[in-house]
Structure formats: structure tokens, C-alpha cells
Amino acid sequence: MRKAFSLLLLMLASLSIYAGGSKEENTITIWHQFTGTHSQVFDEILDGFNSTVGKELGVTAEGIYQGAANDVLAKVKAAAGTSELPEIAAMDATACLDMKESDYLITADDAGIDKNLLLPAAVRAFTSERGLLAVPFCCSSLILYYNKDVFDEANVILPRTIDEFTAIAHLVGKKDADGNIVRYAFAGTPTTYELGAFIGAQNGLSYMVDGKNGHFGIPRKVLIETDGTFRNFLIHWKQFFDTGYVLNTADQVQEFASGRAAAMLNASDHLPTVQRLVGDRFEIATAFVPMTDENATGGVNIGGSALFMFSDSDAVKAFMDYILSKECQQKWAEETGFLPASNSVYESNEFKAFLDEHPLYRTAVDQTLSSNPEVTGIWMPSGYQIYHTYQSEIQKVTEEGKDIDQAVSDMADFIQLQLDDYARQNSAG
């Protein structure tokens, strides 16, 4: 009897594991990748929702950290079709290809989100043949960070193109008496994100793959070789590197923050982090991304992440309305460095006053508003591998003297292989 009772208790205890995993019906679960300040501000926004709109509707929004953006995607795919799928997940552009092929996504268009209220470049960044896939939330763009003290001391004009940067590299870089580099003019090896601007902006608008960078249909053909954009970029970049003042690195923030590099390219939302790391060491300034050449007038694309919906409940729609409200977007932008996704914020006097007070934040805003909104990030299968292969090819060209045409051909072949594989696995062949 005692044994049977113990067994029953054990079984009940086991069942409680499942009970713990079940979701409450009046909860909006949001999986995200936010850490540090981003996480803190996001939680404050959720608290704001829960104490106002959520309270009226009787729902609670709960944010759950699920690792990096790609981890969130992996978990969403694993949870698809189960009750564990959250109502909302914050994911970046690497999720778009999977999401637009999925049957469990409720697109922002389906949810009735008014696109006219959103920043056009942000809308284009997450638009596919299924319409607007997700609600843009963490919008950022690539900007040039530079050491203002060094640039002022060298008395140089800010470079508008890579060639102009090449011309001043020896003035903002520094060598010691033995010829060893003390300060690089630039640190960083461009990859998919940077090439979104360096390639995307060429000739007003260029794409890396067909389907407008994979946004419309499954990408089937790589374009960077046939249209000559990657070759053109490599020619200019190699000349820049050959000055001897460019450091190939994936950790440019540390090189820049320590003062070992006078400039770097990075996402605009990293501004608070860069400011914290630099401290009082030198004055930071920001500028537009240098163009590949005089014809590269397209500007930059919007990066960052968006909120993907997996439920079309009224509570989720109410949450989206709340998160896109002027107050919410302004708080998010001012406290994290992201660009506001709602047009209303750009027109508000409070935000204009904020930009006057924080001019470093203005660069990303001005650059985005003056860019061609059709310049978009790339949606490709195996995005992570392509990201690192771009860096490898650029490193081989600059450091190992690999022939530029060969590098372009190898890069194009690599991307094509990924596209073919993806098409084969999705019956698109």
C-alpha cells in the first residue's frame, strides 16, 4: 500500500513537469534576444503595457530571453506546430527566408498593421511576396564611427568614398619610429552587413542575389559576379588596405575603443556601447558610411530585428499597437540607440530635441532618411556561412594577394552552391 502510494506520488510529481511547461491563456509570450540595456528597456516597455492596455484587456506580456537572434529562430522552428510556440518572437533578417515559407506565421499585413505609419525603409526591410512579414522594432543602420580628436588633429575632411579614405589613411593612422603601426586608420573586415551598403548602394541600387535580395520568391541566382559590384568594391578596398593602415579584424569595436584604430563601421544601435567602452579616452563622432565610388549613391539598408507574430489574437494586435505608439518607440530609440520604426516619432518635437541634444544619434536618422529605401538587406539560406566566407575572401585578397577575379568567382560559386542546395531542398528546382 505504502509502495503504491509512493508510486502514485511520483507519477503526479512527473506530471507536474508538464504542467509547469504549459502556457497560460491570458499571457502574451515574447521570445527575444535582448541583453543588457536592451533587455532592461524592453522589460520596462512590457511593464508599461501590463499596467495599462494589458490591465484593461486582462492580459500580461512576458518577455523570455532565448539566446542570440539565430537561437530564437532555431527554437521557433523547433516549437512550430506545438503549444510551446510563443505569440511573438523578435528575430532578425536571417529568419525571414524561413518565416516567409512557414505556414504558422501571421504576417503583419494579415494582422492589419498599418504600414503607412511605419518608416518606409523599415517596411521594405521586412517585406516579401507575402507582404510585410513582421513589425519592425529594432531598426538600425551601418554608420562610420571615428575618433574626432584624431581627425581634428590631422585636419582632414571626412571621407565620402573609400578612395577618399585611402587618401587620408596615412594622416589619421600612425606609425612609430621603427615603422610599426601604433594606430590604424580603420579596423574591420566588411561582411554581409557592410556589403549591404558597399554593394547595395552601387549604381543607385544593386542586389547580391535575384528576387530583390531574396525578398521576393526563393533566391536562385547570385548577381555579385555578373553585375561587377563585388569586383568593384574589392578593387577600391584593396587600395585602401594597401595603405598599410587598415586592420583586418572581426573585433573592430575593441580596436576602436582602445584607440588603436581611428575609425570603424558598426551598427548605429551600438552607439551607447561604444560610448561606454571609449569613456573619456577620446571624443567619438559618427558619419555616413563612405561610398564604394562616386556612383554608389544608394545609401544604406535597415538592419536589426522585427517582431514576428504567431497569433492573431486581439491581445497580440493590441500589444503591437502599443509597441508602435509614439511614446513607446521614442523611449526605445532614446534609451537603446535604435531608430524609431514609427513615422510619428520623427515628426515629434521631443525627438527632434533629443537629436539636437545627442547629435551622434542624428547620423543614422539622416543617413536612413536620405537612402534609397529599396536598398535592402539580403535574405539568403546559410546566411551565417556566407557572412564568414565574405570575410575570408576579403582577407585573402588583401593579405594573401589572391586575385580579385578569382575571389569574386569563388564567392559567387559559394553563394550559388547555397542557393542551389536550398532550392533543391525546397522543391524549387
Partner 1 sequence: MKSNNLKAYLLLMPSLILAGVFSFFPLAKSIIGSFCTISQQGEIIGFAGLDNYISLFSDKAFVSSIGHTLLFLVIFLPLNTLLILLAAVLTRRKEKHTAIAECIFLTPMAISLSSMALIFREIFRGRISIINRLFSMDIPWLESPDYAIAVLAFLGVFLDFGIDYILLLSSFRKIDKSIIEAAAIDGAGDLRTLFMIELPEARPMLAVIVFLAIKDAVMISAPVMILTAGGPFRSTETIMYYYYLEAFRSGNHGAETSIATLMAAFSGLMVLALAKWRKHDEIC
Pairing mode of beta strands 174-175, 186-187: unpaired
CB–CB of 93/318 below 8 Å? Answer: no
Q: Which of 39, 57, 67, 74 binds partner 1 (CB under 8 A)?
A: 74
Cα–Cα distance for residue pair 276/222, rounded to 1 Å = 40
Q: Which of 376, 381, 411, 412 binds partner 1 (CB under 8 A)?
A: 381
Chain residues 13-32 in contact with partner 1, contact rule CB under 8 A: none
Give the SS3 label for residue 88. Answer: strand
Crossing angle of the two packed helices 359-369 and 349-357, in degrees rounded to 10 = 120
Q: Which of 60, 203, 392, 409 binds partner 1 (CB under 8 A)?
A: 392
Minimum distance from residue 26 beta carbon to partner 1 (Å) = 31
Q: Which of 310, 389, 402, 412 binds partner 1 (CB under 8 A)?
A: 389
Minimum distance from residue 120 beta carbon to partner 1 (Å) = 30
x-or-dash string of contact with partner 1, 102-121, rule CB under 8 A = x-------------------
Q: Which of 152, 251, 347, 405 binds partner 1 (CB under 8 A)?
A: 251
* Residue 266 φ/ψ, nearest 5 degrees: -160, 170
For residues 171, 173, 174, 175, the Cα torsion angle rounded to the nearest 10 degrees is -110
Residue 89 pairs in a beta bridge with 31, 308
Name, in order, each residue with C-beta under 8 angstroms of 70's C-beta and a sequence gap of 6 or more.
Answer: 92, 94, 95, 384
Q: Which of 101, 152, 314, 405 binds partner 1 (CB under 8 A)?
A: 101
CB–CB of 300/201 below 8 Å? Answer: yes
Q: Which of 40, 295, 388, 405 binds partner 1 (CB under 8 A)?
A: 388
Cα–Cα distances in angstroms (integers) from residue 237 to residues 37, 91, 158, 252, 275, in the given order: 35, 31, 17, 16, 27
Minimum distance from residue 247 beta carbon to partner 1 (Å) = 9
Choose one: 30-38, 112-120, 244-252, 401-409; the region binding partner 1 (CB under 8 A): 244-252
Q: Which of 26, 40, 52, 254 binds partner 1 (CB under 8 A)?
A: 254
Q: Is 175 among the residues that bind partner 1 (CB under 8 A)?
A: no
Chain residues 394-423 in contact with partner 1, contact rule CB under 8 A: 395, 410, 414, 417, 421-422
* Region class of 78: left (phi > 0), else alpha (psi between -120 and 50), else beta: alpha
Contacts to partner 1 by CB under 8 A: 70, 74, 77, 98, 101-102, 189, 249-251, 254-255, 258, 260, 381-385, 388-389, 391-392, 395, 410, 414, 417, 421-422, 424-427
